[in-house]
Structure formats: C-alpha cells, structure tokens
Amino acid sequence: MAEAKHLKTSWMDLVWMLFLAGLALLPPIKEYHKQLVLLAIALLQLFEGRLANLFPRRGWGYVVLLKILLATLLIDHTGELSINSSYYPIYYLPVFTAALHFEALGTLIWTAIASAAYSAYLYPAMQQYELTRESVAELSQRILFFFLAAVIINQFATKSRRQTERYQRLAEELAESNRQLEKAQAEARRSERLAALGQMSAGLAHEIRNPLGVIKGSSEMLNQKLSNSDPLSAELAGYISSEVNRLSALVTRFLDFARPLHAHTHPEEVTAVMDRVLKSVAEQWKGGPVRVMKNYAPDLPLAMIDEGLCEQVFVNLIQNAYEAMGDKGGELQLEISKAWSDGRNVIEVRLDDSGPGIPKELREQIFNPFFTTKKAGVGLGLSIVSKIMDEHHGSIRVEPAPGDGARFVLYFPAATATVENEVAAT
C-alpha cells in the first residue's frame, strides 16, 4: 500500500509543478541552466517514491543527496555571487525530505551536509570581497533556520509515524481479539451442541436400557429352559443375549458421554499413569507386534490430573493407535516433557503412531460426537477425550506425525512448586 501511494500523482503535484514553473519564469529568464535544473527538481519530486523503492535500504538517502546536488547547481546559476543568491531557500527541499524520512540523527546529518554545500560558496566570495560581521551573521542565520525547520518537521513526522504504529498495533490487537472472539463463539456453539446431544443421549440411553434388561432376562430364561429340549432355539436365545450385552455396552458409552464430568485433580506423575495404561493395552492387544518407544524428560514436575479420567484418555488414544496400525503392527512413540503454553507451565504428552494417519480435512471433525471412520465405531471416544481434557483445563490437538502416521498432542497443567512441596511433605 505504501508503494502504491508513492506511484500515484495527486493534484498537489500539479500545484508543485505550477510553482516551479513560476520560479522558472522569474528573472533571470534567459538563464537556461536554471530552467533545466528546476525541471530536474520537479521530476525528482514527482518520482522520488519510485526512486526510493528501487533501493529499499538507501533509497531516501539517494533522493536527499540528489536534491542537495540540484539545489547547489541552481544556486550556482542564479547569481553572480552564488552565496547571495535569492534562491538559497531551495535547500529546504532536501532538508524537509530528510526530516520526513529519517530519524533525528539522520535529519541533523543531512541538514549539516546541505548547509555545508551552501556554505561552500563562501570561499569564492571571500576571494573577491571582504567578509564582514554582518555577512557572517546573515549566513549563520540562514543555516540555523535550516536546522530549526528540520527539527520541527522531524518532530512532526516522528509523532505521525508513532501514531501510525499505534494504530497498526491497535488494528492487530483488534484483529487478534476478533479471532479469539470467533474462536470463543465457535467453542460456545460446540458446547451448546454437545450439551444438547448429551441430554438427548442420556434420555435415549435411559429409555433403551430398561427394555434391554427385560430382553436380556427373557433370553437367559429361554436359554435355560430350551438348552436341552431345543438346541437351535437355545442357540438363538444366546445370540439375543450377546447382542443385548453389546447394546448395553453402547448405552453405557452414551451415558458416559452425557454424564457431567467433575475432575478431582491432584498432583500426579503422568509417566506412571502412562506406563500402567501401556501395560494394560499391550496385554489385551491381539493384533500385529507393536514396538513402543518412550522418551520421558528427566525431572518432570507433577501434573494436576484426575488419575482415573487421565487413564481413560490414554487408554482411548493408545487403543486407537494400536487399531490404526492393525495386524501389521508398527511403532508407537511416546514423549512426555515440560512445556509452556498459554502463559503457564504444562506437561506435554505426544503420541505418534506409524498407522495411515488422519486426512487433513478430517482433523477438525474427529473430536465431534458420533463422527467416526471405523466400521464398528460409535464416534464417542475422542469426543469424551476432548471433554476430559477441557475439564482438566488442558487441551488436545491432532497433527501429522513424521512419516504417514498421526500425532496427538496433549497439554496438562503442571502443579505449582508449592503444591508439589505439600505433596512431598505428606
């Protein structure tokens, strides 16, 4: 945007050209060098932005230097004694340009260079005339006015730049606030949907559980009565009982999702919970061989967790990793370390598997209830995990792991040093 402004021609540029044309028409009119220099100054003023953009680091320095050279040439061609030329105010052009585009020190340096260029004509004047006190006073007055004007313009430009920077920072803060607000609104809408789904699930689960109990009891009685007289009917009654058990387990998961969570957090070692879950899942797994690689950082602080809920989180994620790697097996990498997130100390847990991974378009949906890519899945496991992490005031996200697998990153709030000391004392 800044470059575009430099490339546009405004009506003030036309006014600028009109004033320079007026200078060109003033005596001495037949001094064609004067007209050429004024034309060069006009062109430089019109295209100074483009010239500065050609040299991003030193562009404005080159512009100021060219203006000083052109001002010196104009003084040289507008009077028999150049030091007394009535065109000496032309040096205000490079002085103002420097004041607008440089800091205070740069402004003073360029003003000194412009003053030195003007004062250089003092030497030839001294060869012809005697330098009087009044002449020295007038020359000093003109140079001091150069510096006075430079300082005033620089102060104004500096204030303007600082105000612009404040507005830019304010705009960035507002944009960030809007992003945070949109995120909060999205989370609020998601929470409302989860609450509605939870209430519906709880109602359905209660309504389904009662007839399931009746069906299960009836099938067991039929199985007992028909086990000897009618083996086929007894077998069918057994199928009914097993399917009822499966439905009952499904209803239990619905209730787990709908039930309000209340995490009773205490300072605990995350690594101990993780090791216990790894051992349990490994004993139950009947698929391909899985190689588990653990990397626990030393001197890990305790984490504020509900041990039972945390164990449920790890069981769900590790079982998903085992299932993703399937009968071929693979590698499961676990990393637990200290980290800093959202302005607080946290325990970071990373789980990387070597399975097929999760497509990018599905990563935002896998924590939604009833979303699943498994044929026999219900889609409540990861939503319950997300709910548990929210209850811990932690967070979870999914990323692509190195290779083709998936990575889950969890953040648990670390216990403070005071809490750890109290636990150690007890």
Other beta carbons less than 10 A from residue 258's beta carbon: 21
Q: Does residue 157 lie in a domain region?
A: no
Q: Would 387 be classed as within a structural domain?
A: yes
Global pTM reads 0.51
Instruction: Judge contact between 217 and 242, C-beta under 8 A.
Output: no
Q: Are 194 and 202 in contact (CB under 8 A)?
A: no
Sign of CA dihedral 153, 155, 156, 160: positive
CATH number of the domain where residue 341 is located: 3.30.565.10
Residue 334 lies inside a defined structural domain of this protein: yes
Domain-terminating residue out of 66, 101, 131:
131
Domain assignment present for 176: no
Which amino acid does the sequence have at 91? Y
Pairing of strands 344-353, 406-413: antiparallel
Tell me, yes or no, whether 47 lies in a domain: yes
* Ramachandran angles phi, psi of 285, nearest 5°: -70, 135
Ordered per-residue pLDDT tens for the chain, 426 residues: 344 444 456 777 788 788 888 888 887 766 778 889 888 998 898 888 888 989 888 999 999 999 999 999 988 878 666 777 888 999 999 999 999 999 999 999 999 999 999 988 887 777 777 778 888 888 899 999 999 999 999 999 999 999 999 999 999 989 988 888 887 787 777 667 766 766 776 666 667 777 877 787 777 787 777 666 777 777 777 778 788 887 777 777 666 666 667 788 999 999 999 999 999 999 888 888 999 999 999 989 999 999 999 999 999 999 999 998 988 889 999 999 999 887 789 999 999 999 888 888 887 788 877 777 776 666 778 888 888 898 898 889 888 888 788 999 999 999 875 455 555 555
Say if 158 falls within a structural domain. no
Last residue of a domain, one of 75, 102, 131: 131
Count how many domains the chain has: 2
Among 103, 131, 159, identify where a domain stops: 131
The rounded distance, in Å, linking the Cα atoms of 203 and 71 is: 88
Q: Please check whether residue 218 lies inside any domain of the structure.
A: no
In this prediction, residue 361 carries a pLDDT of 81
**Domain limits for position 101:** 2-131
Residue 70 lies in a domain: yes
Cα separations (Å) of 99 from 4, 64, 103, 185? 22, 10, 7, 47
282: tokens are 């490994």
Query: % helix / strand / coil in the chain, to the nearest 5?
Result: 65, 10, 20
